[in-house]
DNA sequence: CGGGTTCTTGACTATCTTCAACGAAAGTGG
DNA sequence: CCACTTTCGTTGAAGATAGTCAAGAACCCG
């Protein structure tokens, strides 16, 4: 499940690994900055993220970029369309991935359980992307960033000293390209949230949620 | 396949109907303005649009709306996530739909061919939605509307008197909510395209493409 | 420690939205 | 079929949000 506004899937299901009764393929490992695949590549494998964070991006001819999703442990990346990858996929951190043959999705390969799990994952992704449409099309900069932090806190936040804390392995421009903003706007919005004491910025990559309910309100547009 | 920036699927495959060897369920018919399902409904059927145009929408608590997609003949609507519908679906025109049991997607129901076709349709939808992200997040009003008209022309344009002509069964506010704009901006952008002689507006719901290459350039951001 | 990248901040600008009015089209009822 | 009402679409003026350009600060890495 990808980082978008959640529909219902809570952290109730933290990282249900898909287990295949078939060929137990060895986990893949990635270093930060290395690519798993590129747009246009033939799809041979899907991958479940076991450890780490990946970034899926698409480029426009003139260099404008859209981050499609950040993939966290439990998520599946690499769904094919007409047999091809439609995004670039880069590791933001050290990562470990469990590969599944594309055929496991497309014809089951005799493993009905795995097949069903991959399909459900694809369907959840459709729903998650629909949420993200609302974010991109209809939310203000502040609502976008607040939503983003809420979702991340929900999925991968850790409690530290009575507050939830979130690690942001991606750069400000990754966040900007995910939310349809510029880095400057992302930066200003972080500052604004910090000054209004909704969050604290421990360091650039670590955010502390000081007022979770305020953050949630902002994410829903009650901030007016 | 939904109305978004196309990846590769051209009109080469105009309306390949999915044929089931199983229960030949009767076609459903819809009048304009009637709903096929609502967000939150249990999914029992998927539908392939045979005739007509449907609109898939999502609402925010405060009434802001996002049009997720317009579904044209050949498209499948109703993919479940956790068994539920995640959009509202309304007919914009008279429509005819071929229903398929949800089980045909989820476990094949013994019809492997239908199962595979539904799965491929879901995967293509994921790719189409990724295109739409770029549109919502990274394009200007003019690029958005030009892209929209290009895609529609490609999919459902008809040649009339040497020019391609496109019918727009949806309202201006549907277009606005699809592109993440206001109705005023959509209207102004139509006027701008008309004044620069890229399109002609035969009537509110019928657009003539006077300069297709100029429209394509605008959609890609070469308009500067 | 130093050089390069990333992040933040400021001033200014552009694009799009908002608010408001008007006109056109479509639906309703006599 | 026409008058009335309502909805939808267009246009204008003003304002706000986010973008652009530019400089300085913080961070990272060798």
Q: What structural domains and CATH numbers belong to chain B?
A: 19-136 (2.60.120.10), 139-219 (1.10.10.10)
Write out pLDDT tens, residues A31-81: 999 999 999 999 999 999 999 999 999 999 888 999 999 999 999 999 999
Q: Which residue has the higher pLDDT, A13 or B145?
A: B145
Cβ distance A125 to B126 less than 8 Å, yes or no, reads yes
From residues 193-222 of A, which are strand C contacts by CB within 7 A?
201, 204
Residues 6+ apart with CB under 8 A from B58: A130, A131, A133, A134, B39, B65, B66, B68, B86, B87, B88
Mean pLDDT for A86-113 is: 91
CB atoms within 10 A of CB B107: 15
Per-residue pLDDT for B101 more than 60?
A: yes
Please state the three-class secondary structure of chain B as a single string: CECCCCCCCCCCCCCCCCCCCCCCCCCEEECCCCEEECCCCECCEEEEEEECCEEEEEECCCCCEEEEEEECCCCEECCCECCECCCEEEECCCEEEEEEEHHHHHCHHHCHHHHHHHHHHHHHHHHHHHHHHHHHHHCCHHHHHHHHHHHHHHHHCEEECCEEEEECCCCHHHHHHHHCCCHHHHHHHHHHHHHCCCEEEEECCEEEECCHHHHHHHHHCCCC
**Distance between A224 CA and the closest CA of chain B, angstroms:** 12
Max CA-CA distance within chain A? 56
Per-residue pLDDT for B191 more than 80?
A: yes
Contacts of A82 in chain B (CB under 8 A): 7-9, 124, 127
| Closest nt by CA–C1' to A184 | C8
Beta bridge partners of A47: A77, A99
What mean pLDDT is reported for chain A?
90
- In this prediction, residue B112 has a pLDDT band, given cuts at 50, 70 and 90, of confident
Of B58, B127, B132, the CB nearest to A86: B127
pTM: 0.92
Nearest CA in chain A to B177: A137
- What single-letter DSSP state applies at residue A161? T
Q: Which residue has the higher pLDDT, B13 or B163?
A: B163
Q: What CA–CA distances, in Å, run from B109 to B47, B100, B105, B122?
A: 16, 11, 8, 17
**Distance between A1 CA and the closest CA of chain B, angstroms:** 11
Per-residue pLDDT for A1 more than 50?
A: no
Please give the protein residue whose CA is closest to the C1' of the nucleotide D27.
Answer: A204
pLDDT at A12: 43
Q: Is the CB of A171 under 7 A from strand C?
A: yes
Nearest CA in chain B to A130: B68
Per-residue pLDDT for A119 more than 70?
A: yes
pLDDT at B20: 61
Select the residue from A65, A137, A178 to test the B interface by mutation, using most B Cβ atoms within 10 A: A137
Write out pLDDT tens, residues B6-50: 444 444 455 677 766 555 678 899 999 999 999 999 999 999 999
Instruction: Give distance CA B60 / C1' C18 (Å).
Output: 20
Per-residue pLDDT for A153 more than 90?
A: yes
Per-residue pLDDT for B63 more than 60?
A: yes
Select the residue from B5, B59, B123 to test the A interface by mutation, using most A Cβ atoms within 10 A: B123
Protein residues in reach of strand D (CB < 7 A): A 140-142, 180-182, 184-185, 203-205; B 171-173, 183-184, 186-188, 190-191, 201, 204
Beta bridge partners of B159: B164
Mean pLDDT for A109-138 is: 92
Cβ distance B106 to A129 less than 8 Å, yes or no, reads no
**Distance between B57 CA and the closest CA of chain A, angstroms:** 9
Tell me whether A66 touches chain B (CB under 8 Å): yes
**Distance between B54 CA and the closest CA of chain A, angstroms:** 16
pLDDT at B221: 85
């Amino acid at each position: 499940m990808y980082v978008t506004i959640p529909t219902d899937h809570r952290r109730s299901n933290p990282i249900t690994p898909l287990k295949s009764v078939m060929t137990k393929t060895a986990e893949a490992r990635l270093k930060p900055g290395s690519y798993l695949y590129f747009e246009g590549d033939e799809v041979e494998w899907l991958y479940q993220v076991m450890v780490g964070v990946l970034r899926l991006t698409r480029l426009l001819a003139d260099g404008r970029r859209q981050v499609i999703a950040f993939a966290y442990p439990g998520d599946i990346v690499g769904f094919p369309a007409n047999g091809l990858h439609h995004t670039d996929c880069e590791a933001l951190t050290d990562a470990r991935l469990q590969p599944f043959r594309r055929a496991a999705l497309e014809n089951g390969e005799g493993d009905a359980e795995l097949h069903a799990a991959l399909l459900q994952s694809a369907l959840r992704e459709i729903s998650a992307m629909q949420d993200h449409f609302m974010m991109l099309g209809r939310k203000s900069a502040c609502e976008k960033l607040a939503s983003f932090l809420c979702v991340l806190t929900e999925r991968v936040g850790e409690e530290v000293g009575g507050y939830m804390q979130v690690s942001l392995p991606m750069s400000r421009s990754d966040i900007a390209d995910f939310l349809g903003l510029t880095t400057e706007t992302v930066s200003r919005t972080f500052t604004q949230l910090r000054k209004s004491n909704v969050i604290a910025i421990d360091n650039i990559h670590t955010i502390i949620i000081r007022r979770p309910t305020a953050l949630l309100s902002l994410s829903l547009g009650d901030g007016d």
